[in-house]
Amino acid sequence: MTSAPLVGSLDTASFDANAIAIIRGFAMDAPFYAKSGHQGTAMTLAPLAHVLYSRVMNHNPADPAWHNRDRFILSNGHASILQYANLFLNGYGLELGDIKLFRQLGSLTPGHPEVGHTAGVEVTTGPLGQGFANAVGMAIAESHLRSQLGSDLIEHHTYVVVGDGCLMEGISHEAASLAGHLKLDHLVAVFDDNKITIDGALDLTCSDDVAARFRSYHWNVIECGDISQDCDSLEKVLRQARAHVGQPTLIILPTKIGFPSPDFTDKHAAHGNPFTEEHIARTKEVIGMPNEPFWAPVEVVAQQRQHAIQRVNENYSNWQNIAKKKTVDLANYSSENIVQNMSSVLPIFGTSESPATRVAIQKVLEEASKVLPQLLSGAADLTGNTGAKLTGENAFSASSPAGRQVYYGIREHAMGSIANGMALHGMVLPVVGTFFVFADYMRPSLRLAALSKAKVVFIFSHDSVGVGEDGPTHQPVEQLASLRIIPGLQVIRPCDGNETAAAWMQALAFDGPTALILSRQNLPVVSDGSAVKTGAAMIRSVEEPDLVLMGTGSEVSVCLEAADILASRGISANVVSAPCFSLFDSQPAEFKAQVLPHNIPILGVEAGVSFGWEKYVDDVVSIESFGTSAPGAQALEYFGISASNVAERAIQLHS
């Protein structure tokens, strides 16, 4: 810890000491007044964050969305006050009043960093390990774009701070393994090695050799020793990591949580229990700063912000000049014309065709790859099976970063979060696929994609017991309902090739993530795809219907067959395809009443649990148990997903 005078002459040593003191003061004061928060990590990492923001990272507070900025991710997002303090000091728009409102309703300083809410926050972090995987995704996006657009336009680094919790979570193993395999050398992770968890000392639960683990993943590992409070040494090791070629780098930084508190340094109580006034006063005395809340002298803050502007001016101006010469290149990777560009090549499926919707999406993606350079598609070892294959495209790899086919391996948990990082990096459109039942492995990343409005297209194929012989472990029944309840996740289950193409267009237009739920089995082409735009629509209507059959996905064709059976028995039925409940819910009441009239019975049909259908229908043909091992057609018949059973249930409802 520096002994330079606080405020003082504002020379270099005082510049560092003042900034670190302000960060540590905020780290104690903000949780104290909020009666909530985590000060210990922020206190000890104050020098690291200050050095990153003031000496190492290329960033521009006046243009937080600058394409070529270095990215900073706080994976251990509970230490959010550390990031807010640095955003305040560097002039990202946070002011003292925002720091004082830490964790309060409507503030710009919520409990964990939220992208899109606070300028300078790149991803939403909090669930441990997610930010680390996001950083891998950002590094993939940077590597790909650098190869496509040139290093004069795109060349930056991603810095991610992780703690013991991040590295214990399983997602970190998956993400680190892939990052090492891909040799993402513009990725620098700093491990806050404080050996503390909420329950107590780390040795209660973990004895991993982190250095050996990451070396086995083919990372460059720097064990830097006890330098966590030495700004010059921190800068040196960060620049060493930045310069390393051919591997991502992990810096193992030993720290003492809560430093320099005379009461709580190196104690797990420093993690999440706000200090008392006495504890804060004693710590501020050690630091040598006034014992006043939210100490941040105007002249010190002004100096910090002026420094941030001066650091970036030359690099930023040079980049702007290059960008002007490559306006067209940048425009090609913009999202502005993405829907228009895709419209001209969108495939149309004829009634003589009967592709599985997983096959239809592959045809759509192959056309998309011709007009959307930002498209990167991949899957968790199921590339061809899910339709995420871009035929003719090279694999993204260490030796071929221009490749657009990303192979994630059997790493669904990390794949989802890596895709979120890619999307939030910007200028790339990630598509990721796996079997629908394995969406359970991706639940955290799906939720965070929705919370972050990350534009990711999740392909989930093999969407029902129609999967067949693999049996109940691979047959999704509850997954569709479980995804529909995630706010902000657009869930679309198309009934045929044309609805699949329309679903892709809807995903491109949507401000956030989309899950496409696709069939393994072939499905007849029965629609023009227009139901997707409104979420639900009639695809067969009669003048005086006796009832409505409402289905999704593969069950729409079952409803159509059932309607024919009913007609032969003198019962008239409208058939509704409902590929997206959330879109239908957003339609005007008048339209919804036309599609689902209130004066006649409505029968829903879906090869999954009935949860969520109660607001639309009077009864539902569903599956309320796990599946069974049998050929797909037999499994569907066994569970009553057949035209004959739907017709019988409709007759019962009508009578």
Sign of CA dihedral 350, 352, 354, 358: negative
Residue 327 phi, psi (nearest 5):
-60, -45
Closest alpha carbon to 414 in 137, 70, 78: 137
Interaxial angle between packed helices 170-182 and 412-425, expressed in degrees from 0 to 180 and rounded to the nearest 10 = 60
Q: Which of 174, 412, 499, 555 is catalytic?
A: 412
Q: Is 412 a catalytic residue?
A: yes
Beta pairing class for 71-74 and 158-162: parallel
- At 637, which helix (H) or strand (E)? helix 632-638
Q: What is the DSSP letter of 79?
A: G
Reported as half-sphere exposure (CB side, CA atoms, 13 A), residue 442 has a value of: 31
Segments of 226-285 assigned E as strands: 249-254
In Å, how far are 130, 358, 452 from 419, measured between CA atoms?
Answer: 11, 20, 12
Exposed/middle/buried for 501, CB within 10 Å: 0-12, 13-18, 19+?
Answer: buried
> Residue 127: how many CA atoms within 13 Å on its side-chain side?
20
Rounded Cα–Cα distance for residues 216 and 212 (Å): 6
CA distance 262 to 283: 6
**Would you give the DSSP letter of residue 640?**
T
Helices (H), 468-537: 479-484, 497-509, 531-534
How far apart, in Å, are the Cα atoms of 392 and each of 341, 364, 385, 404, 433? 20, 14, 16, 10, 18
Closest CA to 415 of 442, 435, 443: 442
Alpha-carbon span 176 to 217, nearest angstrom: 7
Q: Name the residues annotated as catalytic.
A: 412
